[in-house]
Amino acid sequence: PSEHIILSISDLQSAAAAKLPTGIRDFYNSGSTDQITVLDNSNAYKKYKLRPRVLRDVSNVSTSASVLGKTIDFPLCVSPAGIQAMAHPLGELATSRACAKRNVHMGISSFSNYSVEEICEASRAIAPIGHVMQVYSMKDRAKQERIIKRAEQVGCVAIFLTADSPVLGVRYNEHRNDFRTPAGLAFPMLEKTSEMIRADTHDASFVGFNSDYHSWAREIPWLRSITKMQVWIKGVLTAEDVLLAREYGCDGVVVSNHGGRQLDGTPATIDALPECVEAAAGQIRVHIDGGIRSGQDIFKALALGAECCWVGRPAIWSLAYDGEAGVRTMLDILYTDFRRCMQLTGCSSIADISKSSLGIARKDGPLARL
């Protein structure tokens, strides 16, 4: 680690790229097909400019936020991302510990290489932060139910039902690099070994698990009937689906395009956020992930109405760079960056961040007010 000076998320990305074999690096970084959405996710933040208010007392700033029933250090958590043991041998255990030390939630992927029991145990002694279990609509309902029951048993606070993946997006790199899950990894939530998963090429294993006959009516009442945890829908991009999430009594939605890994050509999540927030009308919570790489990005998403942000790849890059310490560095960078952004825009608490904190840059002419 010492040969790299790590000041930003892109420093972590470069440090990870220097360590990871090409096939694994590309698997983590790629979006689907033409890579349009994965790039849009980050670029779309740039059109928003900050409208700082000056000469305000920012000596006593609080970044803390109430998220999923807990007070967390700042409104940024780690998205569920699979196969973290390819980045670092301790994989999700390291991510879990780093999240607990920074007092933020971690999303646990169904494709994790450690069990939800081990992942929650790793953070329990550090902080009573509840993690979130991610599930897909699975063909094997009994297995899906076992995942959910196990998560609830060890103190997870919510289920994220990832709704954008009835089939897998096409990621060319996996074909070009003939990417296969490395041998010897465990998939304890899916009750599979890596040998079982790597026997399948590319999306074949996924097709085997996920249900493409899922529906709001089939999933949500069933989830409610088997768990008392909060039920969130991850992968929503439209007002129409936020209205359905409200109708079905979900606790919240994560505005997400799966980091550009599913349907290429969907909008950047920050561009889908306003219509989702409007449709939520304060009746259902709205979080966002995709392309968030700085404290300013977090600030902008909050100004546009998100309650909390999540990051996927930054955690993977940090794990690859330096395991738990790397993820801790990533969270600290985003924390100090966000806190400084609040002070420099004249905000003392999350409640001070509003639409009036932003404007939209126009090609010719003055900043447009929101």
Q: Which residues bind ligand FNR (CB under 6 A)?
A: 28, 41, 79-82, 109-111, 134, 162, 234, 256, 258-259, 261, 289-292, 311-313, 316
**Phi, psi (rounded to 5 degrees) for 345:** -100, 0
Q: Which is nearer to ligand FNR, 96 or 347 (CB)?
A: 96
The residues, ordered by sequence, that sit 6+ positions from 274 with a Cβ below 8 Å of its Cβ are 304, 305
Question: Which 3 state secondary structure label does DSSP give 177?
Answer: coil
| CA angle in degrees (0–180, nearest 5) for 313-309-154 | 80
- Nearest position to ligand FNR, beta carbon: 312
How far, in Å, CA of 254 to CA of 163, rounded? Answer: 10
Q: How far is the CB of 59 from ligand FNR (least distance, A)?
A: 32
**Cα–Cα distance for residue pair 131/69, rounded to 1 Å:** 11
Q: How far is the CB of 125 from ligand FNR (least distance, A)?
A: 26
- The verdict on whether 258 is a catalytic residue reads yes
Measured from the CB atom, the residue of 289 and 322 that comes closer to ligand FNR is 289
* CB nearer ligand FNR, residue 280 or residue 292: 292
- CB of residue 181 to ligand FNR, shortest distance in Å: 12
227 DSSP assignment: -
- Write down the residue that tokens 């349907």 correspond to: 263
Q: Which C-beta is closer to ligand FNR: that of 284 or that of 311?
A: 311
Shortest distance (Å) from residue 10 CB to ligand FNR? 12
Determine the Cα–Cα distance for residues 267 and 287; give it in Å rounded to an integer: 16
Closer CB to ligand FNR, residue 26 or residue 347? 26
Question: Pick the catalytic residue: 88, 131, 258, 287?
Answer: 258
Decide whether 42 or 103 has the Cβ nearer to ligand FNR. Answer: 42
* Tokens read off for 353: 């961040």
In angstroms, give the least distance from the CB of 346 to ligand FNR. Answer: 28
Give the nearest distance from C-beta 87 to ligand FNR in angstroms.
9
Q: What is the dihedral of CA 157, 163, 164, 165, to 10 degrees?
A: 100
Residue 240 tokens read as: 């129409």
What is the phi/psi pair of residue 253, to 5°? -130, 150
Shortest distance, CB of residue 368 to ligand FNR, whole angstroms?
26
Question: In this complex, which beta carbon is closest to ligand FNR, that of residue 39 or of residue 370?
Answer: 39
- Beta strand residue intervals within the chain, DSSP E: 48-50, 65-67, 70-72, 76-78, 107-108, 132-136, 158-162, 186-187, 192-193, 230-236, 252-255, 285-289, 308-311, 358-360, 368-369
Q: How far is the CB of 196 from ligand FNR (least distance, A)?
A: 17
Cβ proximity to ligand FNR: between 58 and 250 the closer is 250
DSSP H or E stretch at residue 122: helix 116-124
Q: What is the DSSP string of 12-70?
A: HHHHHHHHS-HHHHHHHH--STT-HHHHHHHHGGGGEEE----S---SS----EEETTE
**Cα 99 versus chain centre, distance:** 13
Give the residue numbers marked as catalytic: 258
